[in-house]
Amino acid sequence: MRMCVVGSGYVGLVTAACFADSGNHVAAVDIDAAKIERLRAGHCPFYEPGLEEMIAKNERAGRLWFTTDMAEGVRGARVVWLAVGTPPRADGSADLSMIERAAVEAAKALTGPAIFVIKSTVPVGTGARVERLVAEVTPHRCPFVSTPEFLKEGSALADFLRPDRVVIGADDPAAGDVIADLHEPFVRNNKPILRTSRAAAELTKYASNAYLAARISFINEIAEICEHLGVDVNEVRRGMGADQRIGHHFLYPGVGYGGSCFPKDVTALASFGRAAGADCSLLDAIHARNLAQRVAMVARIKARFGARLAGRRFAVWGLAFKPQTDDVREAPALAVLEALLASGAEAAVYDPQALESTRRVLGERVTYCQDPYDALPGADALLVMTEWMEFRSPDFERMRAAMKSAVIFDGRNLYNLSTMEREGFEYHSVGRPSVGGGRG
């Protein structure tokens, strides 16, 4: 099928590449000329395992191409996917101006009827409103469908090609049938295609992300209780997770969640929920607890080294908000770094993928290292902020020899307490007793 994907960010590129890989002919449109040129040259503008290779393969096959020209992109398209950003406003609500502009511009350029599918995360009622806007600018019939994405950065291709479920929200049954057919190649493992109203599909994405965020914030609150009571949260977590009604997923305490989805989706859901008259105090608490985790990490560091950190140097392992991505949006590591720098500290940082994306945020205020061990010489402490696999079994003897003080603040609970004690480190993690001692 001939289709167009408007927006070549994370969701748009994965959508375009995967549909092209299943045999469709896909034009990907973006207003960023530099990004389009980079894609035409075979380079993905962000890190996602396997995506660059899939893009190149389908470009060579002639099934995927990139353009800044909306008219070229939608020419002959039977389906137009909208995958542009819906960033948060200052009050937490979603800014829908980009999706409205993209839909209207695409509609004006249509050469015939087309189904519009919103992949962007949007508040309830957005599909209906944008459908009305489109009807005002084109004579062609353009039913709107909501198909929320449930992609995890770092495993997006697997999530798209082998989804847990596909949710299709369509108030026009025929349009919903077309979109369901397009997803059939990806659900041959008997995973469900769930047909819902358009409004229910819009809300499902927010509700799913908010629930996962709630689990993270809940276990972080339990972790704080554990710290006050001298209990190891890992023992509690394992006991909870063994209950089949609960499970282990997203019950890992740490310095908090980040990224482009959880923070903005929790606040957006609370915003439009309140506007509809609902009590959203639980959503507010989820968000507040997540922010508190970053503050708590900084407070622990200052409790150890003093409120004024001038003359102190910290090594940081991990900058991306999670492993297998270079995304530092809302990354806890950057929030902690900003607080330490503001208190006079120096920092040397390492991440396998996120150095350049961090440089775009922090500039030259920190020292960027190409190897994790290069960040350690002279460090008063090491902060572990992202659970990359290469950090899980490091050379502790080499670390201890390089650092000024053998102190670790572990925001992801990567190491065993007994190992840290045996290796001679002063070790502070989340929801577990500290080991070692002394002051530097």
pLDDT digit string, tens, across residues 239-285: 999 999 999 999 999 999 999 899 999 999 999 999 999 999 999 99
440 pLDDT exceeds 60? Answer: no
Of 332, 334, 258, 340, the C-alpha closest to 298 is: 340
pLDDT at residue number 439: 47
Residues 156 and 8 in one domain: yes
Prediction pTM value:
0.93
Question: Rounded to an integer, what distance in angstroms lies between the CA atom of residue 337 and that of residue 335?
Answer: 5
Q: Which of 196, 223, 240 is a domain's end point?
A: 196
**What are the tens digits of pLDDT across the range 324-362?**
999 999 999 999 999 999 999 999 999 999 999 999 999
Question: Rounded to an integer, what distance in angstroms lies between the CA atom of residue 153 and that of residue 155?
Answer: 6
Residues 215 and 153 in one domain: no
Residues 308 and 432 in one domain: yes
Mean pLDDT of the 45-56 span:
95
438 pLDDT exceeds 70? Answer: no
Determine the residue type at 402: A
Confirm if 373 and 396 have CB atoms less than 8 A apart: no
Residues 412 and 306 in one domain: yes
Residue of 4, 261, 280, 369 marked active site: 261
Domain tally for the chain? 2
Residues 103 and 206 in one domain: no
Bridging pattern class, strands 115-118 and 25-29 = unpaired
pLDDT over 90 percentage in the chain: 97
**What are the tens digits of pLDDT across the range 66-119?**
999 999 999 999 999 999 999 989 888 999 999 999 999 999 999 999 999 999
Decide which of 438 and 195 is more confident: 195
**What are the tens digits of pLDDT across the range 145-165?**
999 999 999 999 999 999 999
Q: Which of 138, 172, 196 is a domain's end point?
A: 196
Q: What is the mean pLDDT of the chain?
A: 96
Of 76, 60, 100, the C-alpha closest to 27 is: 76
Residues 89 and 184 in one domain: yes
- Starting at the edge strand found earlier in the chain, the sheet holding 346-350 runs 367-368, 346-350, 313-317, 381-384, 407-410, 426-428
**What are the tens digits of pLDDT across the range 365-382?**
999 999 999 999 999 999
Mean pLDDT of the 186-192 span:
92
Asked about 261 being catalytic, the answer comes back as: yes
CA end-to-end span of the chain: 65
Q: Is the dihedral of CA 55, 57, 59, 64 positive or negative?
A: negative
Residues 110 and 129 in one domain: yes
Residues 152 and 64 in one domain: yes
Residues 34 and 118 in one domain: yes
Residues 188 and 204 in one domain: no
DSSP-assigned states of every residue in 219-237: HHHHHHHHHHHT--HHHHH
pLDDT at residue number 144: 98
Residues 212 and 176 in one domain: no
Residues 131 and 253 in one domain: no
- Give the pLDDT band of residue 189 (cuts 50, 70, 90): confident
Write down the residue that tokens 């350690």 correspond to. Answer: 376
Residue 261: give the domain boundaries. Answer: 198-440
- Burial label for 287, CB within 10 Å (0-12, 13-18, 19+), is buried
Question: Rounded to an integer, what distance in angstroms lies between the CA atom of residue 250 and that of residue 269?
Answer: 20
pLDDT at residue number 428: 97
**What are the tens digits of pLDDT across the range 58-76?**
999 999 999 999 999 999 9
| CATH number assigned to the domain comprising residue 191 | 3.40.50.720
**What are the tens digits of pLDDT across the range 384-413?**
999 999 999 999 999 999 999 999 999 999
SS (H, E, C) 50-111: CHHHHHHHHHHCCCEEEECCHHHHHCCCCEEEECCCCCECCCCCECCHHHHHHHHHHHHHCC
Q: Between 281-305 and 198-229, two packed helices, what is the crossing angle to 10 degrees?
A: 40
Q: Which of 162, 196, 230 is a domain's end point?
A: 196
Please, what is the Cα angle at 362 between 38 and 295, to 5 degrees?
125
pLDDT at residue number 42: 87
